[in-house]
Structure 1
């Protein structure tokens, strides 16, 4: 008896209020088997293999309505909000996806309504224009964040944003253009350009304030070039909306022909023929 050792393994997990029944050893083996199976199926949290699983992207759509509205406001008003700080802890793709889709719909709808009521040209709906607009917006809001993220990785920027944080920031920064496209229904060209400048200033400020937190530690030339590139490209996409769907159409209406004009033309033609006939004789 003195040489026997008492095995206390598993006593720390023993529930004295609800003692197990049946075969204790079998239950212990089943629990161990389940834990090992779970560990084999789950990938490490930081593993890049997770991108091939649907569960990896599910977290980027786990956002409340209040959070989305707050981020939309931060995407329109650069101060006192800071969009990058708001989305840093929980980036989402739900808001950016639907913001871009809404922008496509409002731009196409407002542009076609504007053309319909202008009366300057024969109105006709072109579905291919919607496809072009859809492609441009999504390519812009995906490729540019991808390029900036690659630049941050290449430059080894301290405190750089993740790719999904940049996608979130760019998606929400497009919010300012949605009311702009609706206000462009007002057929006053000077007002349209004024609204465009305001929207570019607001949305561009949101982007520069968000990105400056990361690039401010870089050299002055690199920081200024990146900020200027971001603003110019952002302004370019907005001006593209203007010329693609809301371009000013100038036309010269055909003047109606009156009976007096026809009579005068015929009289001149008759006199010319008579003069030519007399000259021959």
Structure 2
């Protein structure tokens, strides 16, 4: 205890002597000593903040990696939920892109941007099937008003026929096209197909133009109906051709021509088939049966007409 007291008193005495001899220097040295200590403290604090930021970035990376590892499987509902995660502006932009096709404008690259959705194609197909069935029944109602001999009865089976036809077309044709392009990629390495969902999305949005066309087919003017059908088929087919051309142009000219011609032909068959099935003004079952000659019994006498001779 005595040694500690002597040591403390010695330090105090040495400091007092220094302050007494040179007060200015002592004041300056004290400030100089405090200033570096302050800088050291700031440096330590700044280093601690940098370390905290790095730790935060590392924690963010770890969270992202954990999210990527925890992606749901394709058999779960969460896996398909991402394909319906679109807003109204995105859907409207993709509809406009399908209605206004132009050369050099790729629907997949400019509108889908590697984020295909099933929300738009699903509701476009459902709306088209419903509108086809309703307008097909309304066509018979209008035909009955013009010709009372036509008997109208609601045909609810047209909803089922329209739904099965359209959904099978939007899923099976893109599946066959995607499989063919995958096979051609193995033959020619420069041929790169779109993904299956991107192909389905292109076909789904390409059918939107037929919704207003089907409504306008209620106008009972045959040449106008065919004109509207050809216009809708041209816009929809052009959207498909301009989208598929960047994929097939690296293939041989024969394969590209046959593939694009098949795509347009199947599209035309869908449009023409819907026109003839849902919009026939007079169904075959309502046609009047032809008159048939009937034989009369021998004991039935026909009335004589004036001027007729009897034997």
What is the TM-score with the length of structure 1 in the denominator?
0.74
The correspondence for 1:84, drawn from 100, 103, 108, is 108
1:172 and 2:205 correspond: yes
Kept after mapping to 2: 8 A contact 1:103/1:177: yes
Tell me the residue number matched to 2:304.
270
Structure 1 pair 158–12 and aligned structure 2 pair: CA distance change class (3 A): farther
**CA distance, structure 2, for counterparts of residue 144 and residue 271 of structure 1:** 69
Tell me the residue number matched to 2:19.
none
Tell me the residue number matched to 1:262.
none
The structure with the larger Rg is: 2
The structural deviation recorded for 1:90 is 1.0
**CA distance, structure 2, for counterparts of residue 212 and residue 40 of structure 1:** 34
1:112 and 2:141 correspond: no
Structure 1 pair 116–162 and aligned structure 2 pair: CA distance change class (3 A): same
The structural deviation recorded for 1:146 is 0.5
The structural deviation recorded for 1:227 is 0.2
The structural deviation recorded for 1:55 is 2.1
**CA distance, structure 1, for counterparts of residue 85 and residue 179 of structure 2:** 26
Tell me the residue number matched to 1:93.
118
Deviations 1:6-29 (A, max 9, x none): xxxxx999759xxxxxxxxxxxxx
**CA distance, structure 1, for counterparts of residue 245 and residue 94 of structure 2:** 18
1:89-168 equivalent positions in 2, closer than 5 A: 89-119=114-144, 120=147, 121-156=150-185, 158-168=191-201
Quick check: 185-194 or 243-252, which moved more?
Answer: 243-252
Kept after mapping to 1: 8 A contact 2:143/2:281: no
Kept after mapping to 2: 8 A contact 1:88/1:165: no
**CA distance, structure 2, for counterparts of residue 158 and residue 164 of structure 1:** 18
Runs of 4+ with >6 A deviation: 11-14, 250-254
The structural deviation recorded for 1:129 is 1.9
Tell me the residue number matched to 1:241.
274
Deviations 1:103-155 (A, max 9, x none): 01111111111210112421111122211111010000000111111011111
Deviations 1:132-189 (A, max 9, x none): 1110100000001111110111111633200000010000000110010010010001
Aligned length: 232
What is the TM-score with the length of structure 2 in the denominator?
0.67
RMSD (Å), alpha carbons: 3.1
Tell me the residue number matched to 2:92.
69
The structural deviation recorded for 1:95 is 0.1
